[in-house]
Amino acid sequence: MAASSTPLSAGIAMCVYNGARFLSKQLESIAAQTILPTRMVVLDDGSTDGSWELLQAWAAAAPFPVDVERNQEKLGVVRNFERAATRLDTDIVFLADQDDLWYPEKVRTFLQAFTANPGLWLLHSEADLIDGDGRPLGRRLFDTLLVTAQERALVAAGEAWRVYAKRNLVTGAAAACRRELLARATPFSPRWVHDEWLAFVAALAGRVAMLDLPTMAYRLHGGNTVGLPVPTLGWRVRSTVKAFTEPTSPRQLARAERLEEIRALARQIGAAPQVLQHLERAAAHARFRAELPRNPVVRLARIWTERRAGHYHAWSNGPVSMLHDLLIAR
């Protein structure tokens, strides 16, 4: 993709559902950008808390064109974001949640990065974490996600697909993409959350980059529809218990199907053979875990063989996943 001297246009896709508690502050932060968006599309998914009325009033006075629409039927997060994003005709499409706060330079910072990197298809940034009252939690997004140096290196090397075959790192509220990505990624798969789907397709079709500069405050309030949970001690205990009691088969079978779906798309895009092989092996490992036999002796032997082949390290969480598979024979 060749660089252009024409300034890139920016559009914002926002989805709202019963977000009146935090919505005004988020809209104010968007209106306070040092570079205003060219256009914004906001879809309300049937709010009953006054969000719709708030949106209408704000859109009428916004310093840039805003299209607001109320869905006739509830679409859910993934379909709603797909519909909002694909209605934009701007060069760059930002995804916005209803409950965060954008820093004034967010749009400018992202546009500068996309302008400087014509091959960049998706950019996601660091974010400061705040609570429901807007108080800083003293943590940042990437640290909370436990992003490793190895994962950062793979993303920087243009091999983000290796990371995403194991887990997603992209939070949609902190991301923006080129409009060309939407042409590749639509329709959004119902098996994936919209941000991880877009990230994976971007990694296959172009490049993804991580920006260590916080461009927003990401609000954790316990009622987030998607995204990070509130990382309390109770949540950590529940997550640990769930990790070692949740049946393996349904989760890994769903993972295998998702990886097989993204591999089929990678083939259509014309991804390199090494990419297709990696995704095929990742899906096969997930199916292996889903289909482990109940017999403990046979189960142990197969897990040990998979471990010696390096597959638990390559496509799962190493010893933790092995221990789970040994203990949970379901």
Q: How distant, in Å, are the alpha carbons of 69, 194, 201, 251 from that of 191?
A: 26, 9, 14, 12
Cα separation, 230 vs 269, in Å, equals 37
Q: How far apart are alpha carbons 94 and 12 in whole angstroms? A: 5
* Rounded CA separation 138/128 (Å): 8
C-beta atoms surrounding 161 within 10 Å: 25
pLDDT score recorded for residue 8: 98
| Residue 328 confidence (pLDDT) | 76
- Looking up tokens 């859910």, which residue turns up? 76
The predicted structure's pLDDT at residue 244: 53
What does the pLDDT read at residue 146?
95
* Orientation angle between helical segments 296-308 and 273-290, nearest 10 degrees: 160
List the helix and strand counts (H, then E) for the chain.
Answer: 15, 9
Collect the ranges in the chain with pLDDT lower than 50.
225-226
pLDDT at 53: 97
Cα–Cα distance between 44 and 75 in angstroms, integer? 10
Neighbours of 210 (CB within 10 A): 18
Q: Is 13 exposed, middle or buried (0-12, 13-18, 19+ CB in 10 A)?
A: buried
Give the CATH number of domain 10-231; options: 3.40.50.2300, 3.90.700.10, 3.20.20.70, 3.90.550.10: 3.90.550.10
Q: Which letter does DSSP use for residue 157 in this model?
A: T
**pLDDT for residue 221:** 77
At residue 226, the pLDDT reads 46
Q: Is 249 exposed, middle or buried (0-12, 13-18, 19+ CB in 10 A)?
A: middle
Reading the block at residue 102, the tokens are 């954008």
At 316, which amino acid appears? S
Quickly list H helices, 194-293.
Answer: 194-205, 233-243, 248-269, 273-290
In this prediction, residue 28 carries a pLDDT of: 98
Cα Rg of the chain, angstroms: 21
State the DSSP code for 133. Answer: T
Residues of the chain with CATH 3.90.550.10: 10-231
pTM of the model: 0.90
For residue 81, what pLDDT is reported?
Answer: 97
Structure tokens that stand for 126 in this block = 């660091």
